[in-house]
Amino acid sequence: MTSFTGRVAVVTGGTRGIGRAVAARFEAAGAAVVTLARTEPSRGVGRFIAADLGSRESVRAAFQTIAEEFGRVDVLVNNAGGARPGAALDYSEAAARAAFDLNVLGALFAAQCMHPLTPPHGGAAIVNIGSVAGTRPSPGTAVYGAAKAALLALTKSLALEWAPRIRVNCVLPGPVLTESLTAYYGGPETAALVGQGLPMGRMAEPVDIANACLFLASDEAAQVSGAELLVHGAGEAPRFNRAGAVDAADGGSGG
C-alpha cells in the first residue's frame, strides 16, 4: 500500500468515531494529519483546527491556517456529517437546513478550499463519507438519506470536473460500531447481537471504513474516481427484536 509520508491529509469530523479512525489510519501510513471539528477532543490525532463545517467562512479560515502551516493538501476526507432521525412529515425547516449544510455544503466548502492547495500535476484525492441511507429508503432517515444522496451526486460531479488534478470518490458505510451506535443498542453485547444479523456476521468497525478511505486515496486507486464503495457487510441493515422490531441505525458519518 502507498506510503503517505510527505503528504498532508485533512479529515473533517476527525475527533471521534469513524473520523478519528480515519485520521489515525492516515497518520499510521505516514501522513501529516489535520483534523477539523467544532470541539477539540481530550485525545486527538494530528493537528487540530476548530471549524464549523457548515459555515463557508469558518472552513475558509481553517484552510488558510492549513496553507500557512503545511503549504499543501493531498487528501481530504469529508467525514463530518449526520442528522437527527425523524419522520419526514414532522421534520423542522431548521433541522433540514442544518442537515444539508453539514452533510453537503460542508463537503463542498472543504473541497473548494482544498483545490488550490493540491499539486497541479495531479495525485490528490477527496474521499466523501456517505451512507447506505443515501441509496435506499429506511424509516426515519428521509432527510439524512436525501442529504447523503446529494453528497453522492456531488462526488460524481466533482470527479468529472476536477480530473485529472483530484480524484473524488465516496464510501458508503452501513452500520458501524461507533460509540453512538453502541449506546443506541444499549451496550456492546446487544450491538454485537445485532451485528450477527448481517451476512458478514458483524457490524463494521470504524477501522474498516478507514481502510476503505486509505485505499481510495492511495496510488493503487489511481484510476478510480467518481466511484461509490459500499462497506455494509454484504447486505441491508439488520433488524433486531427489542420491544418490537427496530431498524439498525446507519453508521453514516461522525462529526
Tell me the catalytic residues.
Answer: 144
| H or E element, residue 155 | helix 142-162
Q: Which ranges of 9-55 does DSSP label H, i.e. alpha helix?
A: 17-28
SS3 75: strand
- Grid cell 441511507 is found at 133
Any idea what the Cα angle at residue 203 is, between residues 43 and 141, rounded to 5°? Answer: 90
Q: All 3 cell numbers of residue 139?
A: 424509516
Residue 124 neighbours by CB distance under 10 Å: 25
**C-alpha span between 36 and 63 (Å, rounded):** 10
Counting Cα atoms < 13 Å in the Cβ hemisphere of 138 gives 22
Cell of 74: 493531498
24 vs 39: CA distance, rounded Å: 18
The most distant pair of C-alpha atoms in the chain lies apart, rounded to whole Å, by: 57
